[in-house]
Every structure is written in C-alpha cells, then in structure tokens.
Homo-oligomer: A and B are copies of this chain.
Amino acid sequence: MKDFAGTPGTLTSFVLRVAQCFFAAGSITSMATTESFFNVTAFCYLIASMGLQLIWSFGLALLDGYAMARKKIPHKPVLVSLFVVGDWVTATLSLSAAASSAGVTVLYFGDMGRCSLGEECTKFQMAVALAFLCWITIAISSIIMFWLLATG
C-alpha cells in the first residue's frame, strides 16, 4: 500500500480525525442544549448521526496516535477496507443528517418569515453549520481512504 498524506498513521489523518471529533461534539452540544430539539425528528437524527461520527472518529484518532507513536503504519488491506466502509457509512449519515436539519432550519427561518424560538434559533443554525463542517472533513478522509484501497 502507498503512503501519502492522510493515510492512516500520518499526522494529516490524525488532524482530520480530531477535527471531525471537534465539529461533531460541537454540533451535538449546540443542538442538545436547546429545549425543543426533540420535537423535530431531523434534529434528533442529527444528534444520533453526530454521536456515531464522534465515536468512529475518536476511535480512529486513537489508532492514528498509537500508530504515530509506534511509527508503524496500519495498511493491511482488510483493515483499510473496514476503514473505507466505516468512513463512507458515517459520511453519508452525516451529510443526510446535516441536510435534513438544514431543510427544517431554513423552513423555520426563511420560509416562515422568522424563527420564533428566540435564542434557540442561533443554536440550531450553529449545530447545522458544524455538522456540515464535520461532513467536509469526513468526506476528505473517505476519499483518501477509498483512493488508498483502490490503488493498494
């Protein structure tokens, strides 16, 4: 297997995983601290999806950190296949959760004139924005992983 920026066990990969954890945690915090998120299915789905993303990315960040400390790069095809499947599943879930929450948020803000939930409105917007940022970082990781598997 080739070894380029972003493959497991490199600093780029580690930074991407930490960024995913950061954005996912921020999105969950912002959404879960509102008082009415549980009334909207899309918002609950956002929390579930970001939670899954957080667990997955945290696990892979630990693995990257361990691999960097041991200077041993985990590039076994079966392991990379597992990473590819996990990355693509979580990336798809993250994008769909971010988009469905964005659809509802835009409905509240733009289509109904203005959001009537006060301070919570900013939190909804913040949670959606962070979920999209999380999706961008997981998408970069997914593409690198898939490229590694295909060229491996």
Where the two chains meet, the residues of A that have a C-beta atom closer than 8 Å to any C-beta of B are 39-42, 92, 95-104, 106-107, 110-111, 146-147, 150-151
DSSP majority for the A interface? Answer: helix
- Jot down 16 A-B pairs with beta carbons below 8 A, ordered by A: A40-B111, A41-B107, A42-B106, A42-B107, A95-B96, A96-B102, A98-B99, A99-B99, A100-B100, A100-B102, A100-B106, A107-B107, A147-B150, A150-B150, A150-B151, A151-B151
Identical chains bound together, number: 2
Q: How far is the CB of A10 from chain B (nearest CB, A)?
A: 19
Verify B146–A41 contact, CB threshold 8 A.
Answer: no
Report Cα–Cα, A15/B101, bound state, in Å.
33
